Amino acid sequence: MNTLSIRSPAKINLFLKVVGKRADGYHELETLMCRVDLFDIVTLSFDQPSISVQCTHPEVPEDKRNLAYKAAALFFEALAKDHGVSIFIEKVVPVGAGLGGGSGNAAAVLMGLNQHYGFPFSNKEIMDMGLKVGADVPFFLFQHTAVARGVGEHLEPVYGVPPWSAVLVFPKCQISTAWVYEHLSLGLTNCEENYMFFRFFEDLSKRKILLCNDLEQVTVKKFPEINIIKTALLDLGAEAALMSGSGPTVFALFQDRQQAFPAFQKIRQQQGWDTFLVNLLLP
Ligand code: ATP
């Protein structure tokens, strides 16, 4: 059978500032995103009569609500062909965790289909399709550490991120991104006004100040455990710890894997949390 398996990474937000709200209700962000080497595997079986999705995670929908399904439907609509694809998702990235798992899956489907059909669409066209599925999909299509602005459509590559290791802690509670934005007080930002991303990599003391996420204050109200995880990771020697995206996953940065490993071993003993030791995927 004609199949293709694609690794679909998770992302973390090293910086996330909400800069405004558009008239249509969407929030405009400025966010520094980096992929990490925690992967779902998305396998596409081509030339099927219709679109179908199967996922190993029991809570992920296998119908039109699946972001991978939506991506395939948009692709075939643009191709103006009544074709189909079977999509099998082996879920490793925690779901509803602020790690962009579903968006990554959608990007994998768009890239895989475009390749299979001989690149009928330009990168820009594929990015536009991705944006219709979700704000983080263009970032995964971009395949580079980037600052995303607007509602995710303006991407600027970022160079010079050190090859940090990270410990991810998912407290096994899901949060809806929509709920977080509904409860956000605009203007209450913790992030610097004129943020200069190059300063991010200058030295450690500045980095601790510059790591920030405006959504953290909202999610923490629902899950105070986030602060407990952050404190635990900092006590274990992390250079910095922050919630990713709309949460509730917390990541902690370490200079390298050797420094991260003891903290990972310690924190993974904690009941009720899923813990991962990852490297940033650079550039
Ligand atoms: P983000 O950081 O982009 O807000 P997230 O990591 O918080 O995303 P996802 O894991 O992408 O969240 O899932 C969010 C919701 O989308 C879940 O409720 C899930 O059921 C649904 N969903 C739809 N398709 C997928 C998919 N392919 N993988 C994971 N979740 C999916």
- Smallest CA separation from ligand 1 atom 27, residue: 102
Contact between 140 and 107 (Cβ < 8 Å): yes
Ligand 1 pocket: which of 11, 42, 51, 60 to mutate (most atoms within 8 A of CB)? 60
* Alpha-carbon gap, residue 181 to 220, rounded angstroms: 13
Reply yes or no on whether the pLDDT at 154 is more than 70: yes
Domains and CATH numbers, the chain: 3-157 (3.30.230.10), 165-281 (3.30.70.890)
Look up the pTM and report it: 0.95
Residue 30 DSSP symbol:
E
- Give the pLDDT band (50/70/90) at residue 198: low
Which pair of tokens denotes residue 208?
A: 């601790």
| Cβ contact 33:14 at 8 Å | yes
**According to the per-residue pLDDT averaged within each range, which of 17-26, 151-160, 257-266 is highest?**
257-266
Atom of ligand 1 nearest to the CA of 106: 27
Residue 89, ligand 1, Cβ within 6 A: yes
Mind listing the pLDDT tens digit for each residue in 233-283?
999 999 899 999 999 999 999 989 999 999 999 999 988 899 999 999 998
Question: From the CA atom positions of the chain, what is the Rg in Å?
Answer: 19
pLDDT of res. 96: 94
CA–CA distance, 223 with 182 (Å, rounded to integer) = 16
Query: Tell me, what's the pLDDT at 194?
Result: 60
pLDDT digits (tens, 9 = 90+) for 79-117: 998 999 999 999 999 999 999 999 999 999 999 999 999
Distance (Å, whole) CA 40 – CA 247: 19
Question: From atom 9 of ligand 1, which residue's Cα is the shortest distance away?
Answer: 96
Q: Is 20 exposed, middle or buried (0-12, 13-18, 19+ CB in 10 A)?
A: exposed
Per-residue pLDDT, 188: 67
Burial 64-85 (b: 16+ CB within 10 A, else e): eebbbbbbbbbbbeeeeeebbb
CA distances from 150 to 25, 31, 126, 226, 243 (A): 12, 10, 18, 27, 21
Using CA atoms, how far apart are residues 120 and 116, in angstroms rounded to an integer? 9
Phi, psi at 204, each rounded to 5°: -60, -40
Q: Say yes or no: CB of residue 130 within 6 Å of ligand 1.
A: no
11 flagged as catalytic: yes
